[in-house]
Structure 1
Amino acid sequence: MNNQGIQSYFQFKNVNWSSMQQATWETVWMTAISMIIVIFVGITLGLILFETSDKKGIGYKAINWLVSFLVNVFRSIPFIILIVLLLPFTQNLVGTIIGPKAAIPSLVISAAPFYARMVEADFREIDAGVIEAVKSMGGTSWDVIWKVLLPESMPALIAGGTVTAISLISYTAMAGAIGSGGLGYLAYLDGFQSNNNTVTLVATVIILLIVLIIQFVGDLLVKHVDKRAL
């Protein structure tokens, strides 16, 4: 295809740049809000899984089994199916099933279990001798969490968070198919359904740029907090 053919295929004058800007903001907003909640929920679930995995007692084992079961279930359900299954829950929680706000519950419930498993694995990579040393000096479980687990695993937690944030970008694009807003919705409605290939192309490029920025910032943060890189 020559340059003239490309220009006729992609007509950038057909792009509503105001709508594209709004859709970009919606995608960034959905990803940012979801990721903040995912970090909190994921670290909490990861801590529960880690702390209860080797503890004796039926109570600890029951908690570990229940949390592990829920994490495995919600991590296994494809996002496009999960968001449909959660429509009644979303309606009751946020009062609507369309728009960026309506996508938040599904995004969090889908990504938090994924991140929780990475958090649990990161904690298991920490030298058990360091944890035992803190306990032998009278440190409490909270001391272990705040002085050992979180600081020592911070580079891995940030790296895992970066991967999760990029996954959330793809989830927001899929959520656009059922009216959540964002670049995915714009590419589907104004691009695919309207047979406007230019809108789809521009939306895809912007999503790619957002992913590259997230990866770049994540890599910088990992290098900044990684003691081995100093």
Structure 2
Amino acid sequence: MVVKDFLDELNERYNCAAFIEDDPISVPHRYTRRQDVEISAFLASTIAWGQRKTIVRNAHRMVDWMDDAPFQFVRNATEADLKALDGFVHRTFNDFDFRYFILSLQNIYKNYGGLSGVFEGGYAQSKDIRVVLSEFYKVFFELASQPRTRRHISSIDKGAACKRLNMFLKWMVRRDGRGVDLGIWREIPPSALYLPLDVHSGNTGRELGLLKRKQSDWRAVEEITESLRKFDAEDPVKYDFALFCAGIYKEL
């Protein structure tokens, strides 16, 4: 299949350690402790929109401002610690949102077994990432929150593509021995994942005939992921690198 061969070649080229430094995934690669990896990956993926260099710089700033110890900061955060986050901003994500994220993560690690407890535990019950994404949104915002902050976590129930949450899951779940995705969660199979659909992967997918839907919403995510499952049912989102890099590096 010509399209599959093209994507396999791009995946071979771009899915490598050289990809890490200039990508937000470089942030969780700073850590070895499971909880530090989870939290830093979640925060880095949360602000992954806009100019790539700015995303990477600000994602590293986030964990620097958490004393380079994300789990310890989340677990022990006091009012004074939260006050120290004043001044952080990435596009529309600011210190107000950052503080809520810390408090919500604190609640999740205290009462739900952490991010892995919510996602892996949710998948164990439902066997459906769509259900897991829906439940995670509810858990994350069970504390009192403002509409401006809720905009920073996509709602699958509202039809959003959930690009950043799918990217976070891809980082946590995929393990192919190539050193990029972290693969620390073993209770969710890569076959269950959905593509982190963005402008680049969407445009590439449409040019290659993998996606016909014009809107980049959840229905588009399902459509393009189903197309990719025909190439590799066990690991469809491995083609994320290929689709994304084909767009930014003008491979078509």
TM (normalized to structure 1)? Answer: 0.30
Greater Cα radius of gyration, structure 1 or 2: 1
TM (normalized to structure 2)? Answer: 0.28
Of Structure 1 and Structure 2, the greater helix share is in 1
